[in-house]
Amino acid sequence: MTEQQEASKDAVMTRIGQAVMLLHGGDREEARNRFGALWSEIGEDGGALHRCTLAHYMADAQDDPGDELAWDLRALTAADGLSDERAAQHPDAPAVRALYPSLHLNLAADYVRLQYPGAARIHLDRARAASVVLADDGADDGYGGGVRAAIARLELRLREL
């Protein structure tokens, strides 16, 4: 990868991060606008990690559960783009694999909100299975523990349905 390509890649992730900060700061509309502009720039043929990360956060910026589901499905589709044997050698493959537990967890939560408990259980099972790639020792800054805790909470909620 050339220096220019590397800088461009970093710039995309930086811009995604800036929009995420807006989202977490409560400015959902501006976050959606920036995510949308970025999605238009990188397009359906952009890098899988960029598309996956962007769609994953764009889903969180949606007000309508159906729109959230559509973006979460885009994120999973992008991640699946690096799941075949040849693509598994791609440098972004480990980062994408680490997102699978969260991707499936979000889909499970979407299906709960949309009152499809069967589909929710399928994705919750997939989230749990995919969570084996997450660190247990705290080296992941709490990401793995947070995802596992969210899986457990959603599992309890599904038992009530």
Give me the average pLDDT of each 10-residue run along the chain (161 residues).
55 95 97 97 87 95 97 94 60 78 97 97 97 70 88 94 80
Rounded-to-integer distance, Cα 58 and Cα 76, Å = 13
CB 36 within 8 A of CB 22: no
- What pLDDT is attached to residue 116? 97
30: amino acid identity, one letter: E
Percent helix, strand and coil across the chain, each to the nearest 5: 80, 0, 20
- DSSP strands (E only) in 50-108: none
Exposure b/e, 3-29, CB count within 10 A at least 16 = b? eeeeeeeeebeebbeebbebbeeeeee
The pLDDT value given to residue 85: 44
Q: Which residues contact 133 (CB under 8 A, 6 or more apart)?
A: 97, 98, 100, 101
